[in-house]
Amino acid sequence: MEQRFVMKCGGSTLAALPDSFFDELRALQQDAIKPVIVHGGGPAISETLTKLGIESEFVNGLRKTSDAVLDVVEMVLAGRINKEIVRKIEQNGAKALGLSGVDGRLIIAKPVANANEVGFVGDVVAVESAIIEGIMKMGYIPVIAPIGIDGEGQRYNINADTAAGAVASFLDVERMIVVTDVPGIMKKIDGELVTLPVVTVAQIEEMIVSGDIYGGMIPKVRAAIQCIQGKVREVVIVSGQEPGVLTKAVREGGVGTRIIR
C-alpha cells in the first residue's frame, strides 16, 4: 500500500527552505511515499496589491476579495508562487506539476457564510481527487494553489489551510503536515521554552485564552486546526529548517507538535 501525505506550506516559508528539504521530498517520492503540496502566499499577495494600488482589508482573518483583488490572488498564487515551487522541486531532481483548484475543476467551492462582508472567498464543497491521483501515478508531485471554482465558473479565493484540509480529507489522508518557520507549539515551562509534543484542539483554545499561545503563533495554530476536518484526524506542525523533518513527520513521529481532535 503506497503511503501519501498532504503538506501545507506558506509561499514565503517555502521560498526560504533549504535545498535539503527538497532533496528529502525527492527521496520520499522515490521511496513510494507520495507528497501532495497545497501552498498559500498571503504576504506576496499583499505586496502585489500594494504595488498595484489596490486596497485590501481583512475581516476576521479572511482577505476581503473583490474582482480586482481576485485577479491578483490568482496571478500571484497560481502564477508566480506555484511555479516558483515547481521550479525549486525540479531543480532538486524530483518531478512536480503545478495547478490551481480551477484546473479540471479540481476544487469545487461555494461562497463562505459571510460573503456579503468578504466578497469572493470560498469554502470547499468537493475536491476532484482523481486528478491528484492521476498526477501522482504519473510520478509527479502535485503542487496546488488554493483557488476554487463553482458550477457557474465563478472563482473563489480559498484559505490555504482550509483547502489543504479538504484535499487531505478527499484523498483519505488522516495526517497532515504543516510546514512553518517554528519547531511546533512552544510553551514556557519552568522559565524554559519547550515544544509541546501533543496537544488537543480544546487545549489550544485554552492556551490562547491563558496567553500561553500569543502573537504570531495564534494564526498558525488556528490555521492548523482548520486543517482538521473530514477524515483528517491530526495535524503535525513542524519547522521546514530542521534536517530530516519530513521523514520524521511521515514515518516516525516524534517531531514538532501533533494537534489531535
Over the stretch 47-82, which tens digit does the pLDDT of each residue have? 999 999 999 888 877 899 999 999 999 999 999 999
Instruction: Report yes or no on 93 lying in a domain.
Output: yes
Count H helices and E strands in the chain, helices first. 11, 16
116 assigned to some structural domain: yes
User: Considering the domain boundaries, does residue 207 fall inside one?
Assistant: no
- For residue 229, is it within any domain? no
Residue with cell 489596490: 54
Q: What is the pLDDT of residue 214?
A: 80
Give the span between the Cα atoms of 75 and 102, in whole angstroms: 13
Phi, psi of 233 (to 5 degrees): -100, -25
213 lies in some domain: no
CB hemisphere CA count around 24 (13 angstroms):
17
- Residue 167 inside a domain? The answer is yes
**Other C-beta atoms lying within 10 Å of the C-beta of residue 86:** 19
Distances (CA, A) of 249 to 16, 27, 113, 189, 261: 19, 14, 34, 24, 18
Reference 164, options 132, 138, 198; nearest CA is 132
Structural domain boundaries, residue 7: 3-177+250-255
- Number of domains forming the structure of the chain: 1
pTM (2 d.p.): 0.92
CA-to-CA distance for 55 and 109, rounded, in angstroms?
A: 24
Question: What pLDDT is attached to residue 2?
Answer: 66
The CATH number of whichever domain residue 160 belongs to comes to 3.40.1160.10
Contact in structure between 245 and 22 (CB atoms under 8 Å): no
Q: What cell does 120 get?
A: 469572493
- Asked if residue 230 belongs to a domain, the reply is no
Which three cell numbers mark 89?
Answer: 522541486
Residues of the chain with pLDDT under 70: 1-2
In a domain, 212, yes or no: no
Please give the Cα distance from 161 to 62 (Å, whole number): 12
